Structure 1
């Protein structure tokens, strides 16, 4: 029998968070108390903001339903480990759609996990290897959680940084926001040594630690971390616009290309046109277009069209000695 009321309430809440209806008698047996005590405990949970719904009947039943606000969530060991592993995997590879909120959730969860569960999470992650598209670099989840905690706590952050040319440096910054582009994570921060705002690719960061020194947030010049990152990347990289027509539907092409390249528009019943901009090298962009798996024509720019022709020539020469028939188009007919 559970005589400690707070412990009993937590046990009851954990049971109710299972998506099913619990008969009052079964809850009483699980908790080792009377049905009257169960009813009193249900009332206490309602006073704390948990929307517990009761059903009529010989034995009656209780279930937790969706409310206007989310009260504290109680997880058992297995659930906590599963959520932490999932958040680590998603955040560590900058999956499109997994934004800063996911990293904040991971930081909060790992902060309260007992050491025995943190060890289980690390062991599980070390034993698994995700299959990724290769569009983004993987990141140690600990790096993201340290940064997210520093952003939330307004603590100065130190870390080692490797620039694009390989040069290493030590940085002391006031972290402002983490921003995901879908392929990579970036930290927008005020660099104290350089006296200016900077963006840092998180996959080039190592040994991050919060110094404990608090700071008052500065006003970002653009007002938005995402906009500051966009302008910073535009200044650093030379982008170009492109137009490509595919012999496939917009739905097929859109599913096979990353969303940041643009949204294909239908052109007739079985063709679509993609307009966008990128800073990817033209040879790599040609490979990306070829991997869609159907015929296409590069309308512009000329440099990309030339890169595609050169790629096609190399592939033709490489397959010249191969035997076999001509392969059919995987997702559409020839372009008219």
Structure 2
């Protein structure tokens, strides 16, 4: 690989790692002059990468989203994560099977041999713990609802009400959509029902969104500290264990939801993290359950859960010879 090409890849990797980069800092990290950085930025633009100059004392650069998807640059861990995620992407969202398989083939094709061997060794078979009650949702349907949530736009939809006489016409529901959540293998929309003037929870697989969406609105406050607490109250199970706690897991909600119990709430915090509320037979048991997920985590509380985690950590530490 030529020195210029290698430097372009390094520059692209840096631009993907954070939102804004001062030009002087990029030059320092790449060990080149500011003039060379400007030339390399122009080369990336010629290749289709939307690199925008930003104003400031020293000036700088930002990699924006573009109209087209240029080639992406993944490090080894990111490439492995993408490949595994694509293998398990169709668990609860229908209509993306072909796209996921084509994306997996594309990622695998451009991988170096060392990574391709690791991916081929990670052939994942998804065993659906909630197959009896799990329902899949259409990807277009999920995106339409998610966009209304993000834009704070009134959503109209037909809703398949259980027990309603077949063929009976029902007027569309009109809601202020608040949040999409997964619980027990299903997708739900939390929303303020404009006709009933109250909060409601709708199963996404029973919704048929209508276009266009309605006017924008100012989001209301949930009658709970947060979405996770609200959902926990709505779906409170008679089988719920008495000791209940909360944690932030540094892994996507889609990776946690398939393995969550019936009374467990999984709320997306970001594309790479989620809030989880669950219960167990004891504080020690709850701390151990949170620790079973192979990711970094932050225990939120209550204090008894955090103390139990300390006790468990000490117990393991003393048991290591």
The TM-score range, normalised by the shorter chain, is: 0.3 to 0.5
Which of structures 1 and 2 has the bigger CA Rg?
1
**What TM-score do you get using the length of structure 2 for normalisation?**
0.42
